[in-house]
Structure 1
Amino acid sequence: MSLITRLAARLPAQVRSAAYDIEKERRLSLSDGPGWSRLFGRTSAAGKPVTLDKAMQLSAVWACVRQTAMAISALPLAVYRKEGDGSRSSVDDRLAEVLSVSPNLDQTALEHWEGQVAWLMVNGNCYSERTDIGGRLSSLQPLPANMTRPIRNSDGELFYQILDRGKSEVLPRDKVFHVKGFGFGGDMGLSAINFGVQTMGTALAADESAGKLFSNGMQISGVLKAGQTLTAEQRQQMRTMLEAYRSSDNAWKVMVLEAGMSFEALTLNPEDAQMLETRRFQVEDICRWFGVPPIVIGHAGEGQTMWGSGVEQILIAWMELGLNPVLRRIEKRIQKDLMPRGERLSRYAEFNREGILQMDSKAKSEFLTKLVSNGIMSRNEAREKLNLSRRDGGDELTAQTAMAPLSDLGQKENQA
């Protein structure tokens, strides 16, 4: 961190703002290794550089990130207040509006959280620049996670460095909303792409090899043999002739051979080369890095179907072990950083997990019937789950009395 930033931390807010403007003009230097690595990625043992853009070209990476981001962003998010009797009530204030309706001038809440979760999946961190008015949150503007990183000065004070078009801007911690993914408790979460560089580099190399294999219609299916040494002119004529058989559009054409030339077929079996098996394993290996079951991205293991109760249990496990930890991270960071200090114990934000636990009509009917008949949920609450309007007299909790004592039978009719 530069001298300007260290001094700015000890200055009043008005002077500090001017110091940050000066610091913003500092450009990315050649000695800034982490900054350049974020731009150009890392090279795998397969010889392929792995960057965010390269990794997202892999269908498995794209699907893991997309499915997780879309599933979480589609869940309703609300702010609640704990009441003295143990119940809770929803809060409709500016913070709730920012989190669940309009986080900034350009985005809806769904678009904002979809982007934030996508960054969290690929980078292990997501950042937003926050604007406060009167000590209350006013907006959240997303920051590119691959261009943002936390840094500390010699006193241990936390700042955030943002690379913007070759320039470096430093923001204080109270201007940045930072959600960290899985890690070892430091200032940053761990990136699946950075640590999975070998897996994704191998997958990129395999995809490129497969593409080159099929770019030639002959697919290295054989060799031409001549009984004599060809001149340079004859070699050029042969190359020109072979051009007419390149690409898949010209596959299976009949080739006419002259001057004693013969064609010897070669076999290149994908199973023998393990190309198909390698690519199947890569999908499952990439899913491990992102904590997404292969079935979620449309990849069924050998012998596994895409339907049935087993798949349903896999999806429930994904919600519990994959999505729920991410949701809790976001909720706890909102409570810690966006709630006023004096209200953190009584207010909290929560995603509605029921939005992803959709059931068939029969299972849903049995589920709601059990809750209503056991006095856990009122009839009106059950109707709300079905998007039906409330009815008079439906707020009272009821329960089945099939096992009531014999002395109680008929008491209700007698009282009437």
Structure 2
Amino acid sequence: MGVGERLRQMFTRDANITSAEDLLALARAGRTGKKGVHVSNDSALRHSAVWACLRLRADLVSSFPIDVFRYVDGIQVEVPKPPVLVTPGGLEVGIKEWMYSTEFDLDRAGNCFGIITERTGVVGPDGRGLPGRVELVELGAVSVRANGSTIKKFTINGKQYEPWEIWHEKQYTVAGFPLGLSPVAYAAWSIEESLNAQQFARDWFAGGAVPSGTLKNTRKTIDKKQAREVKDGFRAAVSNGDLFVHGEDWEYKPVQAVAQQAQFIEARQYGLGDIARFFGCPGDLIDAAVSGSSVTYANISQRNLQFLIMNLGPAVGRREDTFSRKLVSGPRFVKLNTDALLRMDPEARARTIGQRITNRTLAPSEARALDNLPPFTEDQLAEFDRLFGSRSVPAQPTTAVPGATP
């Protein structure tokens, strides 16, 4: 039975589930008697690939400016943002930090939670004031009571809350399940393998897993007492890098770990690719080794565009929908400006803007505004005329009409 089926069975009646840890427990179900690193949302962060994927996605999403619009006569017009999209956690937590934290939790656990501590006077779709302040809470402190796809109660640090008192976003959803699924839970096998490889390496090179070498007397058999004395003397001599002097009857042979080291490196390389796929990040963007790929990009803008379309864009769209439904009223809607990810180099940008002006899809004053500059003054335009000629458009030649008076 798959994890998804067990989740559906759990929620066919009222049931409690801790959003992060219970999902991880379900993902590990059936693996008994297996020793090693226990993977949780916190321990997974010890893996560099997990951290890199989560950091990259959260960094980018938190850098996108958030704008609010409404349509006026069919034209999209920007309107002032509500305070919750400026300082959602109060004066101490600005929108960039809040967006980073929520995206980080969404990407690792499929859910993020917060307590709505303030509301505005603007009535939302549920008949209550729109959220004015949302104080985020740690994932492990949250559990929910649900019936089917409907959440009945939230419990945070032992205190119960009604659903309308809680901010809840989710991603990686399945039909009929009220919570988002945790990538860490489903990636637990890959993360475990890689973390266990790291643990093996630490134990091996620290000498805890296997002996670092053997010291053999080639002339006679020694008893335990003699072995202990020789061992202590050898350790005392070499522990600080000093020389070990012996006759022709002692032979020291370091233990080699060639095969194990090769397996460790191989496990680490394969683990990086698996984890990158689970967390929606191309391996090359987190400096993971990528083999067998022939895809090349003309410039960084094309690479970022591919990442935005294939990996990050859908998550951004879902967050825009959530904000539009829960944080603004009436005909207003929220957009995250992803242009920040698609910045071009100065030469390509100038060429693109110049072409748009030539094609009359962008006015010169609008192009100036893109660089935070005011429109040209008459004196500036006159200066261009002196350098490059008059602005007047030359008269077009006309075809003579027979019989017309010259």
User: What is the TM-score with the length of structure 1 in the denominator?
Assistant: 0.74
Structure 2: where are the runs of 5+ without partners?
A: 1-14, 122-128, 379-392, 398-406
d(CA) in 2 for partners of 1:35 and 1:326?
Answer: 19
Contact 1:159 1:170 in 2 (8 A): no
Q: 1:70 to 1:243 in 2, by over 3 A?
A: farther
1:158 to 151, 163, 169: 151
Greater length-normalized contact order (CA 8 Å, ≥ 6 residues apart): 2
Give the match's secondary structure for 1:129.
Answer: strand
CA deviation digits over 1:300-357, x for unaligned, max 9?
Answer: 42488999637654432111121111111111011122233xx1xx210111010111
1:87 matched to 2:72 = no
1:382 matched to 2:367 = yes
Q: 1:256 to 1:70 in 2, by over 3 A?
A: same
- Other-structure match for 1:201: 192
Q: State the Cα RMSD in Å.
A: 3.5
- Other-structure match for 1:353: 338
Code of the residue aligned with 1:347 in structure 2: it is R
- Other-structure match for 2:264: 275
Q: 1:173 to 1:272 in 2, by over 3 A?
A: closer
- Other-structure match for 2:108: 122
d(CA) in 2 for partners of 1:306 and 1:387?
Answer: 36
Contact 1:80 1:349 in 2 (8 A): yes
- Other-structure match for 1:403: none
Give the match's secondary structure for 2:46.
Answer: coil
Q: 1:284 to 1:246 in 2, by over 3 A?
A: farther
Q: 1:180 to 1:365 in 2, by over 3 A?
A: same
1:257 CA drift (Å): 3.8
- Other-structure match for 2:133: 139
- Other-structure match for 2:215: 224
CA deviation digits over 1:256-292, x for unaligned, max 9?
Answer: 3458221235432268732212211111111011010
- Other-structure match for 1:98: 84
User: What is the TM-score with the length of structure 2 in the denominator?
Assistant: 0.76
Sequence identity percentage: 23
Give the match's secondary structure for 1:182.
Answer: coil
1:184 matched to 2:179 = no
d(CA) in 1 for partners of 2:269 and 2:20?
Answer: 33
Structure 1: where are the runs of 5+ without partners?
A: 1-30, 394-407
Give the match's secondary structure for 1:292.
Answer: coil
Q: 1:361 to 1:262 in 2, by over 3 A?
A: same
Where in structure 2 are the equivalents of 1:102-113 lying within 5 Å? 102-113=88-99
Deviates most, 134-143 or 200-209: 134-143
1:410 matched to 2:403 = no
d(CA) in 2 for partners of 1:150 and 1:244?
Answer: 59
CA deviation digits over 1:103-143, x for unaligned, max 9?
Answer: 42420110000000000011111122222133233211112
Q: 1:306 to 1:117 in 2, by over 3 A?
A: same
1:170 to 135, 160, 166: 160
Report the count of equivalent residues: 355
